[in-house]
Structure 1
Amino acid sequence: MKKSKWIPLLLTLIIWAGMYYYYLPPLNIHSNESWMFFVAMIVVALVINFWTIAKTLFFHKESQWESNPLLKKLLYIPLALVVIYGVGVLLSSPILRASAYSSLLTVQNGDFAEDIHEVNYSQIPILDSDSAAKLAEREMGSMVDMVSQYEVSDYYNQINLNSKPVRVTPLEYGDIIKWITNRDTGIPAYMNIDMTTQDVELVKLPEGQGIKYSPFEHFGRNLYRYVRFRYPTAMIRSSNFEVDDNGVPYWICSVETKTIGLFGGTDIQGAILVNAATGEHAYYDVADVPQWVDKVYDAELLVEQYDYYGTLQNGFINSKFGQKGCLQTTEGYNYVALNDDVWVYTGVTSIGGDESIVGFVLMNSRTKETNYYQISGAKEISAMASAEGEVQHLGYTATFPILLNIADEPTYFLSLKDAAGLVKKYAMVNIEKYHIVAIGDTVAECEKVYRNLMANSGINVTPSGSGTTAEGKITLLKDIVVDGNTYYYLMLEGREELFAVKAADHLEVLKKQVGSTVKLEYVTETDGTCTVTSLQ
């Protein structure tokens, strides 16, 4: 073969290698991405070698097209691939495999009061992702030594860290030049946003242990390339940033599998854990993923699987026409911290566009355990509108609600934000009796108003407050005016807590003085303040 004929072939191989290095498709027959990549390789090869192929087949003195029947048979290969792909798509479709799709998720009926315990104020996330991002950006702006080189990334992930809900995200290089000048040491810190107190901490990593493997790196240290070259067949669905109980940063790469036909029944078979600092990596099946990992299943996949479960129980045709017994999730979801795990919460409604729910589900984002609670009431969107209506003169917007247990009553909890995205007030809305809407400047105040409203509506509730009591002689009593409201701060003999009493709510405090014996109930706010809810 002449030297010139090798050039197109060599160019084809080089471009193929470059395409693989850039696009990083999994070498897996179940991946649509791999099929599309294979088609792109064929197109590239045909374009580069078009003239050589044309001369060989048609313009040569002895046309290979006429003399070699094998070449004609090669035309059947693309046709065969198209047929295989089309049949694979059809056999993987819910149209033919409705029963298999409805079985992707195992759903158990749960007991609300037993499974979801009364609220603990230190574990209520009052921030949504947008508010957390604004706080992180503000904190980053104050770090003069880092803000010129790094930025806050968009990889916010809610996890439980030492039994508290937080959002963590790494920093990223400001630009390519800053990557070049800082890549030897890696990214030196990550952000930790406390979802309950709104405190933001820039966690600096020990010297020499910066984040060197991330989506913000290039070449061999780029997270996706690093994982692909070590797990060439793995279908990576998502990459979440988490830290273990010791604050060591990791990337949790969920590995996808197809369980129905060639392309259907998306599920998670395991996770690849990559130490963001050292690059150490290991694959775990779902059942073996370490306890500290919070997110293996993304919320979108869990919601999709529940929708299959809810709509395809009686077949595909029924899901489109009769729709007997068909249920689907509502328009959004949020996260709930339970038993040191992160659970995805979303409401469940009947297909038909009504504004109520027939229940809700909690889905464990590490194990996929799913519990359904049959409770009718308002949709989350309706609850948000009700809360915003209570403060419409202030123009606040509500966050998507999370689920709480208040006096064994399923309750929506929402934060109300101003135009700058800062949390200003809190709201609680009873799911079943959604005309009960409470607003408060603090979580404790909001709960007190909420309990009183429920009591006035005939709902049997425990006394205001969390049930924590204190009794003794007053050793300190001071009054302070805060935002036009008079508060009395007192201390009791033998105790170190500082108790705050709002005078307008507890007029009996005006009769008290140092030396008086009192009995009170209180709740502890996230900042440590003890807010009195009952005073005798």
Structure 2
Amino acid sequence: MVFFLIALLVSVIGIVPIFLPGRLSNNNKVKTAALLFVPFLGISWFIAWSSMPSMAYPLLGAMIVLVILFTTGSALINRSAMAIGVPVTIVVIFALYALFSTSPIFHGQAYAAMIGKMSDDKSIKHWSKDIAPIDPKHIRLVPEETAIALAKTSLNQNATNGSQASVGSQFDIDVEHITLQKVNDRLLYIIPLDYRGLGAYVNTEGIPGFIIVDAENPQAKPVFVEKQLMKYSPESFFSHNLERHLYTNGYYNKVLTDYSFELDDSLKPYWVVTVCDPTIGYSGEKVLGVAIIDPLTGVINFKKTSEVPEWVDRVYPAETIKTYLGDWGDYALGWWNSVWAHLNQKATEDITLNYGADGRCYYVTPMTSSNAADASMTDLIYTDTKTGVSTRYIVAGTTEDNLLAAVTTKLAYQHLEGVRVIYENVYGRMTAIISVLGSDGSYRGVAFVDVTNKSIMAYDAVPLNALHAYQSLLSQSGGQIATDNASDMKTITAIISRLNYEQTQNGLQLDIYIDTIPHAFYVNCSQFQSAPFAKAGDTVVLSYYNSPSAGISVNDFVDKQVKILLSENQQSVEVQNRDTVK
């Protein structure tokens, strides 16, 4: 019915010029209008049915184009200045309305304000306090590209039901709607399936399941989860098409975006769709909430942003946040500044999804200056994906492209490439965790790169080894590295309970365990003269960055039972380096 009403309105407006004074007689006007109305109605109904244009936008939204075409055709048939004036007037009204209601020339500050207020007094020092140090058990090591490749190989292998032995012949992996989600305290990729075409839709009773890929463990096998047959999906047909289902159930006057396939705590799947309204003419979409659709029954539940269930991770779409931040970067000082002075203009880099220590989901967006030649990061914006609230951290670091290039260049001889940057607090430093892939797209390890100094980089095929190597690099003496929070540096005197020596990429490493402290300490033997001679029972002095990590690399190490005489120059250099690190 909604398609017919839209078509009816467009068609009625389309024949208005016929009834204005012109070359047609009164009798001919009625006949001509009737002859035009029928094809106008058919064309507009078909276009409305096939494209499902949102009626949330002013002046009929995209359907205004048909109105202009129909009225122009009617005016040419009637051939009068007054009739031709109708489409001309509509075009002028549309253009003026779009200009004055939507253009950033008049609404630059409104666009800049869509992201909300962001504190200007943040700094990288605050960042290292606010962003909890990384938990090695929950690092997202598997990039989306690898997850998709794994899912493709598992599509048929995991089907246990004989009737689903040819799942891959009827259903495609829906790579467009892959969703990263934290389910039962585990980062997972939830990957839906969808129909390969109308034939598969007609000859099957529904979509048989979905695929789960572990985002933390590259070695974990993907799991094909067989569920009751799901009818509703983005690529389904007729009334089961997800967008059409929403459109015909009252959402025709809303902007629908970000179709996410998410699981609740019991692993029941739902489609979660963000619902918006334009607030600045034809733009400035404001998020109202989400429509949660059961893919089995089609039942729709709308939840305002304040009522969204805990298991729903994303309410604000990534592209919406990127648009907000882009507008803030462009128009924070007004439209004129964006085209003339370019003072403090900023540009967004690729947005990534991350999970904080509080368990909440965040979009992390690096910002750089609008100058294309600038290779430095100026801000890092954390945006809560459920509330849309953003926090700004002013940083001095390297852009994402340069970080990826640094890893790829270093590993080029192995034909490896860095992809997907995730920003984390590692040992008090803002660190880019970069998944490394082979030329065939397979996972080959992870690299840790200091955002403020990209030359500080550690790579290993084993993530925990890469983390230890990176911590060791950060703790090395040398004026280029210093921990941001001196207050988080801790010095203790203790007795070694147990120890172990192991060979790492950075040389011999001493691993220490102390009964009274719930951490393992890692000492690079090449840095500290007494480390290679330590043994259980020795009294040692350790300085380290206090973090909840299971393993911590030390910044300073002294074994009081080992007396090694250093030259005056060596002593002077060691003291200087030690003071610099602290």
TM (normalized to structure 1)?
0.79
Give the match for residue 169 of structure 2: 148
Amino acid at match of 2:142: L
Distance (Å, rounded) in 2 between the aligned partners of 1:436 and 1:238:
37
Q: Deviations over 1:162-204 (max 9, x none)?
A: 232222121122332222121x3x1111111111113344343
Matching of residue 139 in structure 1 with residue 167 in structure 2: no
Distance 1:44 1:128, change over 3 A: farther
Q: Taking structure 1 as reference, are residues 214 and 12 closer, same or farther at Cα in structure 2, changes over 3 Å only?
A: same
Pairwise CA distance, 1:457: 3.3
2:185 equivalent in structure 1: 163
Write the distance in 1 (CA, Å) between the matches of 2:291 and 2:83: 40
C-alpha distance in structure 2 between counterparts of 1:471 and 1:81, whole Å: 84
SS at match of 2:149: helix
- Separation in 2 of the partners of 1:152 and 1:128? 16
Question: 1:337 corresponds to which residue?
Answer: 355
Distance 1:158 1:470 in 2: 44
Q: Is the 8 A contact 1:136 1:200 kept in 2?
A: no
**Aligned partners of 1:426 and 1:85: how far apart in 2?**
53
How far apart in 1 are the matches of 2:329 and 2:433?
A: 26
1:404–1:410 Cα contact (<8 Å) kept:
yes
Specify which of 274, 282, 306 is matched with residue 287 of structure 1. Answer: 306
Structure 1 residue 29 displacement after superposition: 3.6
CA apart distance, 1:470: 13
Alignment of 1:22-421 (within 5 A): 22-30=50-58, 34-40=60-66, 43=69, 54=77, 57=78, 73-91=82-100, 92-109=102-119, 110=122, 111-143=126-158, 145=165, 146-154=167-175, 155-182=177-204, 184=205, 186-198=206-218, 199-206=220-227, 209-230=228-249, 231-260=251-280, 262-330=281-349, 332-338=350-356, 339-353=358-372, 354-421=374-441
Shift of 1:270: 2.1
CA positional deviation for 1:21: 1.6
Amino acid at match of 2:430: P
Alpha carbons 2:56, 2:278 under 8 Å: kept: no
Confirm or deny: 8 A CA contact 2:150 2:222 kept in the other structure. Answer: no
Separation in structure 2 between the aligned mates of residue 350 and residue 118 of structure 1, nearest angstrom: 28
Residue 15 and residue 446 in structure 1: after superposition, are their counterparts in 2 closer, same or farther (change >3 A)?
same
Which residue of structure 1 aligns with residue 478 of structure 2?
457
| Aligned mates of 1:448, 1:473 — CA distance in 2 | 19
Matches of 1:310 and 1:481 in 2, distance apart?
A: 48
Aligned-residue CA RMSD (Å): 4.4
Maintained 8 Å contact 1:123/1:337: no
Aligned residue for 1:95, secondary structure, equals helix
**Pairing of 1:383-532 with structure 2 (within 5 A):** 383-455=403-475, 456-458=477-479, 459=481
Q: 1:454-513: CA deviations, max 9, x gaps?
A: 2233545699xxx9x999789xx9x99999x999xxxxxxxxxxxxxx9999xx99999x
Structure 2 vs 1, CA of residues 253 and 221 (structure 1 numbering), >3 Å: closer, same or farther? same
Q: What secondary structure sits across from 1:188 in the alignment? A: strand
Counterpart residue identity of residue 109, structure 2: S
Kindly tell me: are residues 23 and 371 of structure 1, through their superposed partners in 2, closer, same or farther at Cα, counting changes over 3 Å?
Answer: same
Determine helix, strand or coil for the equivalent of 2:66. Answer: helix
Quick check: 1:170–1:241 contact (8 Å CA) kept in 2? yes
Q: Deviations over 1:57-76 (max 9, x none)?
A: 4xxxxxxx7xxxxx865544
Counterpart secondary structure, 2:239:
helix
Q: CA deviation at 1:399?
A: 0.8
SS at match of 2:252: coil
| Preserved contact between residue 396 and residue 416 of structure 1 (Cα < 8 Å) | yes
Partner of 2:153, secondary structure, is helix
One-letter amino acid matched to 2:152? E
Shift of 1:129: 1.7
Extract unaligned runs of 5+ from structure 1.
58-64, 66-70, 488-501, 522-529
SS of alignment partner, residue 137 of structure 1 = helix
Distance 1:95 1:363 in 2: 27
Q: Distance in 2 between matches of 1:425 and 1:435?
A: 18
Counterpart residue identity of residue 103, structure 1:
A
CA distance in 1, matches of 2:323, 2:196: 36
Q: Distance in 1 between matches of 2:140 and 2:258?
A: 24
Aligned-partner SS, 1:215: coil
Alpha-carbon distance change, 216 to 265 in structure 1, aligned in 2, over 3 angstroms: closer
Residues 205 and 368 of structure 1: is their aligned pair in 2 closer, same or farther, counting only changes over 3 Å?
same
Q: Distance in 1 between matches of 2:145 and 2:279?
A: 35
Report if the CA contact (8 A) 1:189-1:202 is conserved: no
Give the Cα–Cα distance (whole angstroms) in 2 for the partners of residues 482 and 533 of structure 1.
Answer: 13
1:301 Cα deviation after fit: 1.8
What TM-score do you get using the length of structure 2 for normalisation? 0.73
Structure having the higher helix fraction is 2
User: 1:83: Cα distance to partner?
Assistant: 2.1
Q: Secondary structure at the match of 2:202?
A: helix
Matched residue count:
490
Question: In the superposition, relative to structure 1, how do residues 480 and 446 fare at CA in structure 2: closer, same or farther (>3 Å)?
Answer: closer
SS in 1 for 2:404: helix
Offset, 1:220: 0.6
Q: SS of the residue aligned with 1:420? A: coil
Pair 1:316–1:470, CA change in 2 (3 A)? farther
Gaps of 5+ in 2: 1-26, 160-164, 510-523, 543-549, 560-582
Look up the match of 1:20: 48
Does the aligned pair in 1 maintain the 2:71–2:87 contact within 8 Å? Answer: no
In the alignment, is the contact (CA less than 8 A) between 1:333 and 1:344 conserved in 2? yes
Q: Secondary structure at the match of 2:115?
A: coil
Say if 1:471 and 1:179 are closer, same or farther in 2 by CA, change over 3 A: farther
User: Retained in 2: the 8 A contact 1:171–1:190?
Assistant: yes
1:434-465 Cα shifts (integer Å, max 9, x gaps) = 221111222211111112212233545699xx
